[in-house]
Amino acid sequence: AKISETARALIKRSQTEVERTMEYVQLVLMLTGSVLVLVIVITGFVLRRWINKGVRNITRSLNLLTEHKFNLSVQSVGPAEMHVIASQLNKVIESTGDSLKMVTTNCETLYQTAGVSHSAAEETKASLDKQNHSLNEMVSTVCELQGAIREIAKVASESYEESRIAASDSIQGGKVIEE
């Protein structure tokens, strides 16, 4: 009975020790779990904030692009993926800006060319108007000349006719004198 009593006391002491150890392990596990949950929640908030900062940066830059502001550069903020997106967006902004500059330059060149063409067309029209006026004067002069030539031809024809009559009369007068 004495051994049983001692064994019971040892078992009771061991049982108490095991229960204390289990309570201690349970407390350590709960504290560790709580700390891990707290770290995960804080890390989640930090990651969310970090990712949202990058997304807001990209969104703000895209909004500026929709307002045709091509002189900006997107900052690389947030995770590596946001850096890649920012880099690609900067390339798009640069190429779009270059394209707009080229289109603007081409439009200005076309506008200047159109102005030169308009001036050339006005000068050509004025020159053609002068040529038309000169041709009308030439036609008028040629018509007058034609009338004068007809008059001269008529006078020459009449003179020829009269000289033929005179030659015939002269021949006849010469025959009369010879007889």
Rg (CA), the chain: 59
- E-state strands within 4-149: none
Neighbouring C-alpha atoms within 13 Å toward the C-beta of 167: 6
What's the pLDDT tens digit per position in 149-162?
Answer: 999 999 999 999 99
The whole-angstrom separation of Cα 106 and Cα 100 is 10
The first and second tokens of residue 153, run together, are 């031809």
The whole-angstrom separation of Cα 150 and Cα 139 is 16
What's the pLDDT tens digit per position in 38-63?
Answer: 999 999 999 999 999 989 988 988 88
The first and second tokens of residue 74, run together, are 């997107």
The residue to which tokens 């007058």 are assigned: 144
> Are the beta carbons of 49 and 79 closer than 8 angstroms?
no
Can you state the angle between helices 2-66 and 80-178, rounded to 10 degrees?
A: 20
Considering only CA atoms, which of 79, 73, 46 is closest in space to residue 61? 73
The residue to which tokens 């707290």 are assigned: 38
> Are the beta carbons of 72 and 93 closer than 8 angstroms?
yes
pTM higher than the cut 0.75: no
> Are the beta carbons of 86 and 74 closer than 8 angstroms?
yes
What's the pLDDT tens digit per position in 86-127?
Answer: 999 889 888 888 888 899 999 999 999 999 999 999 999 999
Residue 72: predicted pLDDT:
81
| Main-chain dihedrals φ then ψ at residue 26, nearest 5 degrees | -65, -45
Residues 6+ apart with CB under 8 A from 96: 65, 70
Residue 1: predicted pLDDT:
59
Residue 70 has pLDDT above 80, yes or no: no
